[in-house]
A and B are shown apart, each in its own frame.
Chain A
Amino acid sequence: MKMLVCVKQVPDTTEIKIDPVKNTLIREGVPSILNPFDSYALEAAARIKDKDPSSTITVICMGPEQAKAVLKESLAIAADKAYLISGREFGGSDTLCTSYILSEAIKEIEKTEGKFDIILCGKQAIDGDTAQVGPEIAEHLGYPQVTYGLEAFVEDGMVKVKKEVEDGAEIIGIQTPCVLTFTKPSFDPRFPTIRRKMAANKANIPVLAFTDLPDIDPEKIGLKHSPTHVKKTFVPQKKTGGIKIQEETAEESAKKLFTLLSEAHVI
């Protein structure tokens, strides 16, 4: 299988603090990380390659030069080759434009690497949380999709995906080429080995700029051509704490809670 994994560099949202005076996000000093959902997509690709070592994993990322860090991390974990897609023409793109740029970049990379059978993405990025870029890449390329994947495997020549649904999971068979997006599985993604880490640090990562994508329509990219615009952002109002119950004994506390919930007709 020839696989392509789309990754994004995101701020670690667990480290984000709110400026209590200005009521804005403090982004300085917040570490940038490989989007966790993308690491699940990479792990899914790596597991397919474990079973069929002739498989290849190419990884791409759109972002500034610094985003090479997550490509190197992906190389260290499991990828064979990496490309950065970077250019100020791409800046400010919403999901429709971003997915268009990525789909054009994928077509361009296929000229060198050959056609990909499976394109794997994280379900969503933890900064934007939209979960739209994966399905929109699929639509731009005209491919079928399965979202909320937990793991993927190839059986009898067919790509099969274990998909999370409300009451369990389903095994879905999908035609290739296809796009799969991944949520958190029950297992942890693998760590890089020291040897792979050292090799990744030395890896040459080609950059695809706007001018390297001859077929791209400049009227379909960037802030100016994005259908959606952010009108404003604000820090949500914190709900204030309610009634604190701390009686002498746990029994008294529990009984008081029961009384309060009953009186409020909550139970």
Chain B
Amino acid sequence: MVLEQQLLPYFQWLLTGGDDQIGALPTFALVFLGLVMAGLAVGYAIAAARHGLLRGGDVTYHTIVDGLREIIDTSPRRIWALARLAIKESLRRRVGVALGVYFLILLFANWFLSTNHQDPARLYLSFVLTATTYLVIGVAVLLSAFSLPGDFKSKTIYTVVTKPVRAGEIILGRIIGFTIVVTALLAIMSLGSYVFVIRSLDHAHSVDASTLERIVDANDSTIGQSGRTTTDAGHFHEFKLDADGYAATSTVNGHTHEISPAGENRFAVSGPHGFVRARVPQYGKLRFIDRNGADKDRGISVGNEWTYRSFIDGNTPATAIWTFDEVSPAMGQQYLPLALIVRVFRTHKGVIGRPIAGQIQLRNPETKATSDPFPFDAMDQQVAEYNINRELTTNNGQPIDLYEDLVSKGGQVEVLVKCLERGQYFGFAQPDCYVRLPDGSPAASYAKVCVSIWVQAVVVIAVGVTISTLVSGPVALLFTAGFIILGLWRQDFVDIATGKSYGGGPAESVYRILTQANVMVKLEESVLTSLLVGFDRFFAKPIMWAVAQFLPDFSAYSTVEYAAEGYNVPWDRVFQDVTTCLAYVAGLALMGYFLLRTREVAR
């Protein structure tokens, strides 16, 4: 699974942050302070323009003081009344249609989803969760963007603001009400999706009796039978029954079945196992040795623009080395459960139909005791699971114990991976090799994915409600949609703002488009280009940078990939997302309060 950013433990993320970033709480405080200062400056400028310098200051002061007092006077009963109103309004606006659309999509989903796929669970989960995300966020945008403007248009807001209702209560009531609606929608959709996926993937095989063959030992005694199942759902499984008639089938399309005797020459085949999983990885730290035997932080580049993985060249000393901490027999008494994902880069076809060979060794980082190489066939981008036996031998055939001899006193072990074929390359990123801890509950992990969808929807609601205090429904809709789109491509946006990407800022880009000059062409020097570059540098980019500071990274919120790839969503991730969501709601509600408080309701 691709993890481009390292997931920090919750409290580290919250307080101190990682290598090149400060903690979330200090970041929030800085952004909040920045916004407050900017809000004060803009508010005073408007008040001064309206009422003069002194009176403007007085108005600004009273707005802030009254605002703080009103926050204290906030009434949960009033907020709940407004939330209930928002729920009723949503129902009146036929929000249930979204459910109808969703179930219609599910009804026809099997037309273009196939169980006869290399990883059907990934296909199904990815589809249903993506559809759920889009629908829920779509509903969130529509509800939040049109609600308050609708009240302004119908003037029903007059009868609300002339009651002792604080502007903040109107904002919070709307946000809470729509959040409840969206939560209910999401719960129904998620439950429906889960049932749909499980039922769609479920299938049954039976043993194809015509394929059964005896397995004999050296004395021609029968020690079992081999054969295969019938072809159902577009595939079959091979198996080897033991003498008692039990077997686990081969893994096909990401699942197996269990076979057990059911009478004389009759066998029962269980339902599929392993379709939906929640793997729990324990990641290590990755470093490299290059072809000359020198230590490196990264391997070599094979020319990919995406630099997530770096590569080691085959049949050279080049090695990828993961160091795992806290390794103990608790991970597996008889073996160390490892998983490895290899990105294979071929410079020649090699032997057609044969995978590229590689080897795994375990090494004690202190004593440097190393196990005999364990060969494997690299399947490109597949999760290969290996159980490294506890009883191993060294390079020179001496028996060693994995936990006793290869794990250091500090509980560390190194996993060394090499490519064995000349002219071929293996690509790795840090999360590509991990120790497999016992799987989590797939249903619980699925629920955590739904929480991440919920987080996105709530942020969208908060944005929609806040901006709708200021502008009409369609404009609020456009703004919120723009906010989501910018959030989805936040990193690109930041790269433009900080000058990391080619092609300059917005003004330079427009010039390049009009003059058909690609981003690598140097701009000719003229007064116009100097003006455009200056505009970008001193105006557009600083604004973009400021906007980027409070722009949510929607692409990072999605945990759909976790479920689709069969990984457990870490609790750290869930807590981080929910905390971020609450920070957005608090900040936006405060912003919405002042926007609503300082606008004329009857304008």
A binds B: no
Task: Give B residues with C-beta under 8 Å from A.
Answer: none
